[in-house]
Structure 1
Amino acid sequence: METRIFFNPGDSIANIHDYNEAVRKGQIFKRERHADDLVIAKGPDDEEYAIFYAKDELPASHQASKPYNVKNRL
């Protein structure tokens, strides 16, 4: 079962159509920037994968939040 979380789409680090490419870019970003936990999630449009900092998760009631389905945590 997928986990649904909420983010502001403007907070994404990257938006990528290919899942494997999103994972690869997330791993590179995390290694190069010594980043905290990252989340790869399928966007509300169900077309792109977005990379977010896990700490940027918002409550569902926040006006800027959109639902994303978590696909991977890095």
Structure 2
Amino acid sequence: METRIFFNPGDSIANIHDYNEAVRKGQIFKKERKIDDLVIAKGPDDEEYAIFYAKDALPADHAKAQPYDVKEHL
């Protein structure tokens, strides 16, 4: 089951059309930066996958919040 989470689109690390490419780039970024709180999420436009720091999630009522469906936690 997917989880809906809210982010400011401007906080994304990357936006990628291909899911497998998004996961690969997220894993590389995670390894290089030695972090463990990345999220791959499908954007509100349903066209791109975005990579975010999980800690950057916003409350739903935040002015810049847009809904994303979490596809994977890295």
Show the 5 A alignment for 1:32-71: 32-71=32-71
Q: Does 1:24 align with 2:24?
A: yes
Q: Percent identity?
A: 84
The TM-score normalised by the length of structure 2 is: 0.98
Partners of 2:2 and 2:36 lie apart in 1 by: 22
Partners of 1:61 and 1:42 lie apart in 2 by: 19
The offset of 1:35, in angstroms, is 2.0
The offset of 1:36, in angstroms, is 3.4
RMSD over aligned CA atoms reads: 0.6
The offset of 1:25, in angstroms, is 0.1
The TM-score normalised by the length of structure 1 is: 0.98
Structure 2: tracts of 5 or more residues without a match: none
Corresponding pairs, count: 74
In the alignment, residue 9 of structure 2 is paired with which amino acid?
P
Structure 1: tracts of 5 or more residues without a match: none
Partners of 1:56 and 1:23 lie apart in 2 by: 18
* Partner secondary structure for residue 21 of structure 2: helix
